[in-house]
Structure 1
C-alpha cells in the first residue's frame, strides 16, 4: 500500500504517517470551533443517562458513543447548527508544509483523504455522495443530535451529517484504553466515523433496532463501519486531492498495526475487562477486539464494499 513517486514526505512524529508536503489542503470541510465558546449547555444528547464521573465514567461513555452512528436521532435539538467553517487554527492549513508549524493539520489531511475517496467511490457505484464536515471542538458542542461534551468521544450525528471530534480524545485512547496511539490510530477513528456517514447515506443506520448483544444490530453496524474504514485504508496512498496530488504517500506496517491496535482497544470485551473486571456479551454494542480487527482487516485486504456485509454474516 505504498505510493512511490520520489515525493519527499512529511511526518509529524518519528515513524508516523507520511504526508505529501506539496499537497494543497481544502479546509472547507473542516469546522474548527475550539476556543469559540460555542458549546452551549453541557450534557448528553437524546436524554441519555449519564454514567458516573471519573476515568471509569469516561471510558463507559466512550463505550456508548465512541465510534458509533449513534447519538440517537429524535431527542436532538431542532435548532440549526451554527456554521463556523474552517475557524480556529485548522483554517490556516492550506499546504502540506503547514504541518511543520501546526501538527493539527494532519486532521485536515485525514478528512480530505477520506472524503475524496468516498466522493469518488460512491458515484462509481451509482450512489450520490453528500459531504459530511468534520467539526473539531473542545469541551462541549451543540449538534443536530443535541448538546454533547468531550466525554462522549468522537461521534457521527446522522441528522446534521457531521463527524464530531475532540482531539484530546486520543490521549484517552492511549492512557485509559491502552492503545499504542499514533497518527494512523487517529486516522482509523476518523475513517470509522465516516463509515457511519456512508451507512447513513445508504439508509443502513435506520436498520438498527437492537442495541445490545453479541449479534445485535448495533454490533453489526459498528463492525461494518470498521470494515469501511479498512476500505479507505486500502486506497489511502492513492487518493488524490482536487489537484490530482496524493495526500498520504506511504503507510508502513507499523502504521497499519497501530490502526488494528486502536480497533482492538475499543472492543467491548477489552473495555469491560478494564472497567468491570468481567465480560458480559449480552451488553455488547460494538463487538469484541478480535471482531473489530477482523472486519477492519477485511475491508483493508479487499478494498471493496462487498466485503463489508456484516448484516448477513452468520459469524461475526
Structure 2
C-alpha cells in the first residue's frame, strides 16, 4: 500500500492513552475485524454476551506513548505511528462523501494498552479492536492487534491494519443508518444467518467499498493498493473467520455459535464491497445468500 506524498492530516480524532467514554456497563460494544480472540472464545464456548464481559468501568487505563505530531503524510517516515491518523482521515473523507447530509464521523479512535474506560464498559487489549456505539469511538491496542493477527495466521501489515480499522468504521456507518439498532432487536442470536453475523459481514463489505474508492480519490492519503495488498486483505478476512478461529482453538467448528461469520463469508463480503464500490451492495440483512 502506497501513501500519497504531502497530504495534510487532521489528527484531532486520533487519541492515545486511557480514559474517555464514561465507564459503566452502558451500551454493547461491537466486535472487531479481528473479533478479539480471547473475548470471542469466551462468548463462543462459555456463553453470554459481550456487554456483560466488558466489566463495570473504572480508571485502570494505562498510558501509552504521547500523542505523536502527525500533520502531514510526510511525517510517516520518521513517525510510522502516524499511520493511524492516515487511516482515520482516509476513512472519514470517503464516508462523509457518501452521506448527502447528517454524517458525523466517529468521535475518535483511541490507541491504548492494558485497559480503557469506554461508554460500553471497561475495554481491554485482549478484546481486540472494537467499536463502542455509546461514545462512537474505535478502540484498539496496536501491538496486541499485530500479535493477534500473527496468532490467527496472518502477518501485520499496514493494509491488514486498515482492513481492521475499516471494518470498525463500517460498524459506525451501520450505527448511523440504523442497521445496528435493528440487528440488536433480534437479541443475542448466533449462527451463520443471525443478525450478529449479518452486522459483521456488512462491516466487512463497507471496508471493501472503502478500499475500492479511496484509491480513486486524488485527495486521499492512500495512493494505491496492489494485488499483494489485496491478497493480504483476503488473508486477514480469512484469519478472523469464526470457523478458522474455532478450528485453531478447539479443533472443531460449531456454526450454531458463530457471531462474525466464516472465513469464506467474510472474504465474500469484503470482495463484494471492493468489486462494487457501492455501499448499497452491502445489504446483508435482506438476502439469504451470505457467501457461506
Give the TM bin, normalised by the shorter chain: 0.7 to 0.9
Query: How much has 1:76 moved relative to structure 2?
Result: 8.0
Q: Does 1:185 align with 2:160?
A: yes
Matches of 1:237 and 1:63 in 2, distance apart?
A: 36
Give the CA RMSD over aligned residues. Answer: 3.1
Matches of 1:134 and 1:182 in 2, distance apart?
A: 19
Per-residue CA distance 1:50-82 (angstroms, 9 max, x = gap): xxxxxxxx72325679xxxx9539x88799xx9
Query: How much has 1:118 moved relative to structure 2?
Result: 0.6
Per-residue CA distance 1:71-100 (angstroms, 9 max, x = gap): 539x88799xx9x9xx95444011111111
Provide structure 2 residue ranges, at least 5 long, that are not aligned to the other structure.
Answer: 29-35, 44-48
Matches of 2:76 and 2:91 in 1, distance apart?
A: 18
Residue 72 of structure 2 aligns with which residue?
A: 95
Tell me if structure 1 keeps the 8 A contact 2:4–2:223: yes
Tell me if structure 2 keeps the 8 A contact 1:27–1:90: no
Q: Does 1:233 align with 2:211?
A: yes
Residue 282 of structure 2 aligns with which residue?
A: 308
User: Structure 1 residues 141, 272: closer, same or farther in 2, change over 3 A?
Assistant: same
Provide structure 1 residue ranges, at least 5 long, that are not aligned to the other structure.
Answer: 1-16, 49-57
Residue 27 of structure 1 aligns with which residue?
A: 11
Matches of 2:174 and 2:26 in 1, distance apart?
A: 20
Matches of 2:103 and 2:150 in 1, distance apart?
A: 39
Q: Does 1:117 align with 2:94?
A: yes
Matches of 2:225 and 2:112 in 1, distance apart?
A: 27
Q: Residue 191 of structure 2 is aligned with which of 207, 213, 233? A: 213
Q: Does 1:150 align with 2:125?
A: yes
Tell me if structure 2 keeps the 8 A contact 1:179–1:261: yes
TM-score with structure 1 setting the length = 0.78
Q: Does 1:18 align with 2:2?
A: yes
TM-score with structure 2 setting the length = 0.84
Matches of 2:105 and 2:84 in 1, distance apart?
A: 20
Tell me if structure 2 keeps the 8 A contact 1:39–1:147: no
Query: How much has 1:256 moved relative to structure 2?
Result: 1.1
Question: Secondary structure, in 3 states, of the residue corresponding to 1:141?
Answer: strand
Matches of 2:41 and 2:4 in 1, distance apart?
A: 34
Q: Residue 105 of structure 1 is aligned with which of 82, 86, 93? A: 82
Question: Secondary structure, in 3 states, of the residue corresponding to 1:142?
Answer: strand
Tell me if structure 2 keeps the 8 A contact 1:32–1:136: yes
Residue 247 of structure 1 aligns with which residue?
A: 221
Per-residue CA distance 1:155-199 (angstroms, 9 max, x = gap): 000010000011013322333110133110000000000000001
User: Structure 1 residues 62, 255: closer, same or farther in 2, change over 3 A?
Assistant: farther
User: Structure 1 residues 139, 93: closer, same or farther in 2, change over 3 A?
Assistant: same
Matches of 1:191 and 1:64 in 2, distance apart?
A: 25
Matches of 1:76 and 1:238 in 2, distance apart?
A: 42
Matches of 2:124 and 2:203 in 1, distance apart?
A: 23
Matches of 2:41 and 2:57 in 1, distance apart?
A: 26
Matches of 1:136 and 1:71 in 2, distance apart?
A: 20
Matches of 1:300 and 1:219 in 2, distance apart?
A: 19
